[in-house]
Chains A and B, each alone.
Chain A
């Protein structure tokens, strides 16, 4: 258990379905992130929330819709997905900003949701 909990761990959905991924952190962090990791590819940053405000949207298609109701919870709403959206979706949190020498430990990731779109 890393302190960042993602549910569900596995999800299979049809292209016409609507589903949501949930992320919860109990670390007192003020920033949360969604990453996508496709097979054999590097992690791709999707969204960044800082103090509940979205600060980054890395050209993600509108079929992915994030929501951050408070600094401890983050959702990723999915609708009309494509098979190529099948991937491991990872949530992370951090305390921002932080500076060298303060012994901070970077990002804490959840275990991810393995999404399969059929």
Chain B
């Protein structure tokens, strides 16, 4: 399980695009990157997963450069309901457990 580093907190305003960058310098060839979202008093919820280049779904985009040492979660036009903690994980498919760091507390302001 590669160690990841992400900002502790970020603030944004409604309607803006938010980019949260995660560093994973020691990522292994078999590792892929997964992002989760957690609201207070709820379990984390899967947002997006990728291995390289760009992945987009109905919620977010994930940008992974060629060296894969970092990744950026992009949330388009955030709303107040996007206020949550966002976790970045880099792990292999055969990982027996996921370890969550402190995540990034995103606060969306009106």
Q: Which residues of B contact A20 (CB under 8 A)?
A: none
Taking a contact as CB atoms under 8 Å apart, the answer to whether A96 and B94 are in contact is yes
- B46 at the A/B interface (Cβ < 8 Å)? yes
Q: How many pairs, one residue from A and one from B, have CB atoms within 8 Å of each other in the complex?
A: 67
The residue of chain A having its C-beta at the shortest distance from the C-beta of B101 within the complex is: A42
> What 0/1 pattern do residues 34 to 48 of B give for CB contact below 8 A with A?
101000011111100
A42 and B98 in contact, given A90-B43, A99-B93 (Cβ under 8 angstroms): no
Say whether B51 faces chain A, with CB atoms less than 8 Å apart.
yes
* CB-defined contacts of A43 to chain B, threshold 8 Å: 44, 100
Number of B interface residues in the complex (CB < 8 A): 24
A116 within 8 A of partner (CB): no
Q: Which residues 77-92 of A sit at the B interface, judged by CB distance below 8 A?
A: 88, 90-92
User: Interface with B: A11-19, A67-75, A102-110, which one?
Assistant: A102-110
Interface flag for B16 (CB, 8 Å)? no
Is A66 close to B, CB under 8 A? no
Nearest CB of B to A57, in Å: 11
Do A109 and B51 have beta carbons less than 8 Å apart? no
B97 A112 Cβ-Cβ under 8 A: no
Interface flag for B49 (CB, 8 Å): yes
Enumerate the 10 nearest inter-chain pairs by beta-carbon distance, A residue then B residue, closest first: A109-B43, A99-B93, A97-B94, A100-B32, A43-B100, A100-B51, A98-B93, A90-B43, A106-B34, A105-B46
By a beta-carbon cutoff of 8 Å, the part of chain B in contact with chain A is 30-32, 34, 36, 41-46, 49, 51, 89, 93-94, 96-103
